[in-house]
Structure 1
Amino acid sequence: MKSLFDQQTAQDLEFETVRSMLAEVCYQDSARSRMQCLMPCLRKDDAVRALDQAHELLHVREVESGFPRLEFEELHMEIQRLGILGTPLDLEGFVRLIDASRLVNDLIEFFKTRDHLYPELNALVNQAYFTKEIIAPIEKVLDARLQVKDDASPELAKIRQDLKSRRREINRNFEKVLKRLTKDGFLAETVEAYINDRRVLSVLSNYKRQIPGNALGTSKTGAFTYIEPRENMALNNELEMLLDDERNEIRRIFLALTNEIRTHLPLIEIYQSTLTEFDFINAKVRVALKMDALKPIIADDILIELIDAYHPLLLLANKEAGMKTLPQSLYLDKFCRMMVISGPNAGGKSITLKTVGLLQIMVQCGLLVPCDPSSKFGWFQNILSDIGDNQSIANQLSTYSYRLKRMKYFLDVSNKRTLLLLDEFGTGSDPELGGALAEVFFETLYNCKSFGVITTHYANIKMKAARLRNAVNASMLFNSESLEPLFQLSVGQPGSSFTFEVAQINGIDQALIEDAKTRLSANKVELDGLIAVLQKEKSEVEERNLAAIESKKEADSAKEEYEALSDHFEQRLQRQQDVIEKNNKDLTNGKRMTQFINSYRLKGSNKKMLEEVKKFIAVEKSKLVTKKEQAKTKQIAKNVPSRSTVKKKQQQPKSPPKPILVGSTVRMLNGNQDGQVSEIKGKEATVLFGNFKTKVKLIDIEVV
């Protein structure tokens, strides 16, 4: 099935910026070119695999040590030359091959012992196999400095030995001439130079005819003449011939080595594709680390559940500026698939809409996204947008004409797997006429079972959303006093545009505002005023709830601290009392034993006194045992539940509860509003209470 995602949507939702950001951090041109053309996957399984790969590599980067660096030079030229018989690779080509082979071997070794942790990356790298059959023959030819070894062949060894001999002889002759001419004062301050790889003398031009040799050039000013000493002329010619022999022998060696490596061409092609894929995935991870992105849940159903989600580009921009970014949360599924967001401008409506669209596109491209890991994304066939002022000068279209053409396209292709992102829906024409047409479009798109996030100022669109079963109104919260935006989405009721309130705060004369009100229908003013009041009240309730939650947290914390201190002082007091009691007891027992000793000294040993001592010891021992038993009993008593608690646990329901199924009408155990179960997963159910959707535990609801 063909997927629809056009260039205009990529531009509207700033996905092009995300692609450019990813392309910038690719090491290779191949990965960079592929990233610049990144589009949502046609198949859901492909996107899931791409997400798993990025998730695994992100974990490697954050947790593992010893992971190889993924920087390497591409092998396209080497692959091309290996495909042509008789064409040798050059030195740089062999170096690139040996680097690539070592890197792939290192990756194979790394994932070999971690295949259970990173199955997708292990499968990717195992397209190749561990071998040194590419490295070994190259290492026979190249040394540790990646230069051709002297013993790469017997012929090369002989040539290089002759080269060393000629160079020694040339240098010996040169030093003799240099010493003599320096003494004669014929040389410039810089006594020597190199011309055409030959060592020459820098002779003052006045004396050049007095020096036997070959003049190879002069300085820019003509003050110096560069002369090759006559003693070295023949030797330098021999040296050049030996250098030619060396180059020819190295080419022969490289050709033989290339023929040996050519048998591994299929593996080298896998090296290129595997390392390009790792570079591609690594770029995703490098950007994900910047924006704290991760892998969300890919749902089987068609839905979007954003939990603490951020607009990626806004998050990065605010991070760089040292500013805080507020997350957004929303839920769309087949029971609530159209969300109409209203409210004044600059409140965050468009950013919320773009966040939904951009994150959905990124997920379907296999990119990690900045949100809570429990966020869920379904799979859409079409992702389409209409955002901003898109005049078409080339086709001589006004903004409204362009939007009408765009809307016709949406009406033609929309279905239950379409996600629509429509900003400032209905604008561009007469408010009354344009609003009526927009309402018809909205209802038609709704009847196509499409999903959508729509922003608007039109009251009729808000009212239509309130009447449709699977649509919901939402608004961006504002401070009830200053009307400053809080950048928080509130689902359940439309938002007022605060037209007159904003005008008043900005100093517009009250008489002008009142005059404007008289020009509107009473119902319109009353409706907008009612919405404004409701929104202010809701904002106040939200603020009070937040304050109450904070107060409860502080109270609970203070209570815990007090109880901890109380227990501490109680234990400390008890220890002090135990010490005093023990000291008193020791003192009493000591006095008693002193009496026994004195009596023994005066009267000597007698049976009656011994009986008294034994009796005294037995009594004290009995007291000690009794005290231990009392402490043990006290500890057991602490762990025994109270009678009321036991009684409560023993209470059984008079009849078994009815099973909770999808479609059941249910009620919260502590509430009185009926709702309908739309989904059950595990021990939780999703319940619709009117236009509100919430997740509750099964044990907290009952069938009515």
Structure 2
Amino acid sequence: MIYPQNAIDKLGFTEIRDLIKEKCLSEAGRLMVEKIQPQIKVDQIDRFLRQTHEFKQLLQHDEPLPVDHIYPIKPLADKAKLEGSFLSEDELYRMLLALRTVFNIIRYFNDREGQYAHLELLFEHLPIEKSIIRSIEKVLDDRGKLKNNASRLLEAITNEIIKSEQEARKRLDSVFKQAQANGWTADGGLTIRDGRFCIPILAENKRKLKGLIHDESATGQTAYVEPEEVFHLNNKVRDLEFDRRREVVRILTELTSEIRPHVPLLLSYHGLITKLDFVRAKALFAIDLQANMPILDKEASVNLVQARHPILYLNSLRDKNEIVPLNIKIDATDRIILVSGPNAGGKSVCMKTVGLLQLMVQSGVLIPADESSSVGIFKQIFADIGDDQSIESDLSTYSAHLSKMKHFTTFANARTLVIIDEFGTGTDPQFGGPIAEAVLEQLNTKQVRGVITTHYSNLKLFANHTAGVENASMLFDNQKMQPLYILQIGKPGSSYAFEIAQKIGLSKDILEYAKLKIGVQQKKVDTMLVDLERDKKEIVDTKYVIGKRERELVELKSKYEKLNSDLENNKREIIRNAKEEAKLILKDANKLIENTISEIKTVKADKDKTKEIRSKLNQSLDKHSKSLEKDAKNNKPVVSNVTPELEVGDWVRIEDSGSEGEILEITKSNTLIVALGELRTVLKRNRVTKLRSKEKSAAKKRISSIATESAADFYPELDVRGMRTEDALQKIELVLDRAVMIGYPSLKIIHGKGDGILRKFIRDYLRKYNHVSRFEDEHADRGGDGITYAYIG
């Protein structure tokens, strides 16, 4: 599929594999990464990509996967498979820890059934065989050592050894004291020689104490004697230890025989944990790259949007530089993109980005490009990059290029992606150009897809009038004389040879002489390309400005339409309310008039009575008018209460949490620095409420009592050995928070050594904890890197 084989190295895929290997937790996972190869089956590629994408989502948005102990199970299963063999205590303990991790992983995904559908395919129908763990736990303790009561005989032998050792030690102490009383002993206490307890005796007294001399000092002045009285007891202990070893071997052999029928299942567990480690490494690498899963296209096409070269992107993150993303499209219409432009303008990076991202996708690795990008599947990827001259094969640089062109034109087809750098170079341009054009025509006839970089003008002209081959150029700012690293499809680019030479400082005489040497036609072509480049840049800049203004106009139009809509709604609401109010006024007025007419009729138009009734009518109307004026005054906007001014020393309550604290400082940007006990926090003014005097006193008492209680019962040492990573980190967080709260300067965390996984997670967490200024190992004599001191400041 890949030709030549070193194309994988030249495109940078080997470096990608090495970076993924660094993310693996197990050697089996690293070996799996080493075997990554581009695939051609769409379903298989899709499954690999989706598994990586799902694991990336899990790492970013879900609880951590329980991968505390990843040990290789296969070597242990292979050993257990042999009849008569047995696994040692350490091997059984590693198997136990690995199986616990496997079972926790299976439960993790069972609890999220359906959420990670493609990851679940890795362990479909894989059972949790608890009997293996139960069998091991019967004979091993929590430290991985054989239990003394693993069998009745072992318990009896162990008790007898303890009893015999105590008796021997008692006798030895008695003899030692007697020898000291007689003045026979040298300086120092009891010591061990050849695995036996001995008494240091002065050389001149060594015959006075009956026993076996095991050793003597370098000076010869001290002899180390095992007294005769304890010799037979020590021999008894030695015999018992041999008996115990035989019983241990019997127990381990029996346990291994119990495990042997489960060897196929153990190998399946090994496969699961290896595959998960492999996919996890790819997902972690994708997070580093900010990579996404592209759309898979069954057609042989490429449409990369905002794509970045992975290695350059990682370097830019480290160096805090920005790289210009690439947009490129290869399809049935524009099959071959011929990229031209200035040297060091980004042509080769553009070409390698396409080739490398294609290899990554077909290998199931997410790519640093927008998720709207689409990538097809190619059955063959051919590349001609760099110098492949060979002394052994008697190949010059150009001969090596021609050998590859022969292979390309013979075996390439419509499902082939061709990547060629500096097409046609290596020989006399007068002949290299036409040969390259003939090869390009042949590749185009075969419907090949690809990206080719060149400086040859004849190839640019060929692409200009040939269907299927499209010119493209890397933009160059000929005012500032620097490349822009932007790919522009549709027009060829100038090499800017004279302009770059002038910028470097080459003599004007040399440049003028060189211009005389090139053909008039070639000079016109190059001048035309430079002018086109300049015009194109102006058009691009103008389009950008126009596009920006159009977006601003669309935004303003949207705001205007919303405001207009709100005004219309308010207007309709005001008119509706006014009409309702007018109806009520007319109704009351009609009622008042009808009552007045009725009263006038009742008094039969008596002048005095009529005058009195009219007076009442006028009073009612005046009263109604005053009511309307009062309503109008009440409808004026009400000014809200002004927030009380805050000063340093005031006590406030945080609205969203209910915590209370004292203002230490008010910054120029009108934000507050508030003390919550020993903690300090920065808050906006509108998030707090000033406490009244009674509330302030109560808050002070609460803070004081909390600090006193915490300081009294706080213990600055924490033991998390044997705990799951998640539980350990939660416990550490609680104790750290209390330490910060009461102002304690340091915390001692005992996590043990093991394989260093728990230590790594703990120290990663401490790096992110704002109040931890530094951390360090305990002294080597007192635990070394099995203990971490975290300093708070």
* 1:30 lines up with 2:51 in the alignment: no
* Offset, 1:230: 2.4
In structure 1, what is the equivalent of residue 702 of structure 2? none
Q: What is aligned with 1:314?
A: 312
| Residue in structure 1 matched with residue 325 of structure 2 by the alignment | 327
Q: Secondary structure at the match of 1:62?
A: helix
SS at match of 2:327: strand
Deviation at 1:172, TM superposition (A): 1.6
Match of 1:303 among 301, 304, 316: 301
What is the DSSP-based 3-state SS (H/G/I as helix, E as strand, rest coil) of the residue aligned with 1:419? strand
Answer with 187-196 or 36-45: which moved more: 187-196
2:394 partner letter: Q
Greater shift, 99-108 or 181-190, is seen at 181-190
Match of 1:163 in 2: 161
Unaligned runs of 5+ in 2: 564-611, 638-793
Larger deviation, residues 15-24 vs 453-462: 15-24
Secondary structure at the aligned position of 1:476 is classed as strand
> 2-side partners of 1:266 and 1:326: how far apart?
51
* Residues 4 and 383 in structure 2, CA contact (< 8 A), matched pair in contact too: no
Moved more, 514-523 or 326-335: 514-523
Distance (whole Å) between structure 2 residues aligned to residue 152 and residue 27 of structure 1: 33
> Tell me, which stretches of 5 or more residues in structure 1 are unaligned?
566-605, 632-704
The 1-side partners of 2:465 and 2:220 are apart by 97
Residue in 2 that maps onto 1:387 = 385
Question: Is 1:75–1:272's contact at 8 Å kept on the other side of the alignment?
Answer: yes
CA distance in 1, matches of 2:107, 2:138: 24
Paired position in structure 2 for 1:233: 231
- Report SS of the residue matched to 2:6: helix
The whole-number CA distance in structure 1 between the counterparts of 2:49 and 2:133 is: 34
Q: Distance between the aligned counterparts of 1:611 and 1:223, measured in 2?
A: 138
Shift in Å, 1:358: 0.3
Distance 1:346 1:202, change over 3 A: farther
2:604 aligns with none
- Write the deviation string for residues 403-449 of structure 1: whole angstroms up to 9, x where unpaired: 10011111111000100000000000110111000000001001111
Structure 2 CA distance for aligned equivalents of residues 557 and 183 of structure 1: 103
Structure 1 equivalent of residue 73 of structure 2: 75
- Name the residue aligned to 2:362: 364
Contact 1:307 1:372 in 2 (8 A): yes
SS in 2 for 1:395: coil
**TM-fit CA distance, 1:167:** 1.6
Higher RCO (CA 8 Å, separation ≥ 6 residues): 1
Report if aligned partners of 1:480, 1:539 keep a CA contact under 8 Å in 2.
no
- Post-superposition offset of 1:50: 0.8
Q: How does 1:500-649 map to 2 (within 5 A)?
A: 500-546=498-544, 615-620=621-626
Letter in 2 for 1:115: E
Structure 1 window deviating more from structure 2 (167-176 vs 430-439): it is 167-176
Report how far residue 333 of structure 1 moved. Answer: 0.7
State the aligned residue count. 591
Determine whether 1:277 maps to 2:275. yes
Structure 1 counterpart of 2:416, which letter? T
Q: Give the match's secondary structure for 2:494.
A: coil
Alpha-carbon distance change, 524 to 70 in structure 1, aligned in 2, over 3 angstroms = farther
Determine the structure 2 residue equivalent to 1:595. Answer: none
Question: Secondary structure, in 3 states, of the residue corresponding to 1:231?
Answer: helix
Q: Is the 8 A contact 1:420 1:453 kept in 2?
A: yes
Cα offsets for 1:230-272 (capped at 9, x unmatched): 2221111111111111111111111111111112111101011
Q: Deviations over 1:364-418 (max 9, x none)?
A: 0001111111111100000110011121122121100001001111111100010
TM-score (norm 1): 0.78
Give SS of 2:85's match: coil
Aligned partner (choices 137, 140, 144) of residue 139 of structure 1: 137
The Cα of 1:544 is off from its aligned counterpart by: 4.3
Residues 540 and 211 of structure 1: CA distance in aligned 2, closer, same or farther (over 3 Å)? farther
Q: Deviations over 1:171-192 (max 9, x none)?
A: 2222223334445554444423
1:68-107 C-alpha deviation (Å, 9 max, x unpaired): 1164121233222222111122112211221222112111
- 1:72 corresponds to which letter in structure 2? I
Cα displacement (A) at 1:527 = 0.4
- Give the Cα separation in 2 of the matches to 1:612 and 1:174: 129
Q: Call closer, same or farther: CA 1:22–1:204 in 2, change over 3 Å.
A: farther
Partner of 2:422: 424
How far the C-alpha of 1:496 sits from its partner, in A, is: 0.0
Distance 1:549 1:628 in 2: 50
Corresponding position of 2:41: 43
Counterpart of 1:600?
none
CA distance 1:233–1:359, shift in 2 (3 Å) = same
Following superposition, the deviation at residue 563 of structure 1 comes to 13
1:478 to 452, 455, 476: 476
| Partner secondary structure for residue 451 of structure 2 | strand
**CA distance, structure 1, for counterparts of residue 206 and residue 615 of structure 2:** 136
For residues 213 and 621 of structure 1, do their structure 2 counterparts lie closer, same or farther at Cα, with a shift above 3 Å needed?
A: farther
CA contact (8 A) 2:342 2:494 kept: yes
Distance 2:9 2:246 in 1: 56
**Equivalents in 2 of 1:489, 1:193: separation in Å?**
80
Q: Closer, same or farther in 2 for the Cα pair 1:237/1:24, shift >3 Å? A: same
Q: Secondary structure at the match of 2:419?
A: strand
Return the match for 1:347 from 345, 348, 372. 345
1:499 equivalent among 497, 510, 513: 497
Aligned partner of 1:638 in structure 2 is none
Rounded to whole Å, the distance in 2 between the matches of 1:557 and 1:206 is 106
Distance 1:552 1:334, change over 3 A: closer
Q: Deviations over 1:29-50 (max 9, x none)?
A: 2222232232102422111111
- The residue type equivalent to 2:538 in the other structure is E
Q: CA deviation at 1:609?
A: 9.5
- Give the distance between the partners of 1:329 and 1:183, measured in 2 at CA: 94
Matched position secondary structure for 2:305: strand
The equivalent of 2:11 in structure 1 is 13
